[in-house]
Amino acid sequence: MGLTGRNVRATFERAANGLDTQRYVLRLYVTGKTPRSTKAVENLRAICDEYLEGRYDLEVIDIYQQPALLAGEQIIAAPTLIRKLPLPTRRLVGDMSNRARVLVGLDLVPVRGEGH
């Protein structure tokens, strides 16, 4: 993917803030091969490939196939994304189609109005 003015700036800002060295550990809990689950996986992979290239581990967990992995996670809806690292833990619910919300939720871009 080529660099545009927008993602050149984002890349520069992440590097300046030391974010380019952080490893992200993500778990996406889905319910089977439903359209919503499939869309969540596609959307999240696209975001991670663009913003976290080579710096993330994504585990997709089908709660129907691996219900034991739900223990202690307090999953009340699916799809649910849990960012395990970097701390603090973050949770996002939905199909990850709201790109801006996912980027803010993963701390990949600042919340509008914060700091500037």
The CATH number of the domain holding residue 42 is 3.40.30.10
> CB–CB of 102/40 below 8 Å?
no
Q: What range does the domain containing 82 cover?
A: 23-105
Q: Does 55 fall in a domain?
A: yes
pTM of the predicted structure, to 2 decimals: 0.78
Q: Are strands 56-62 and 24-30 parallel, antiparallel or unpaired?
A: parallel
Q: Does 29 fall in a domain?
A: yes
Name 56's bridge partners. 24
Q: Does 115 fall in a domain?
A: no
Q: Does 35 fall in a domain?
A: yes
Q: Are strands 90-93 and 56-62 parallel, antiparallel or unpaired?
A: unpaired
Q: What is the pLDDT along the chain (116 residues), one digit of tens a residue?
A: 444 455 545 554 555 455 567 999 999 999 999 999 999 999 999 999 999 999 999 999 999 999 999 888 989 999 999 999 999 999 999 999 999 999 999 999 877 655 54
Burial class (CB in 10 A: 0-12, 13-18, 19+), 52: buried
Structure tokens at 98: 């709201």
Q: Does 82 fall in a domain?
A: yes
Structure tokens at 10: 């984002």
Q: Does 58 fall in a domain?
A: yes
| Domains identified in the chain, total number | 1
Q: Does 96 fall in a domain?
A: yes
Q: Does 111 fall in a domain?
A: no
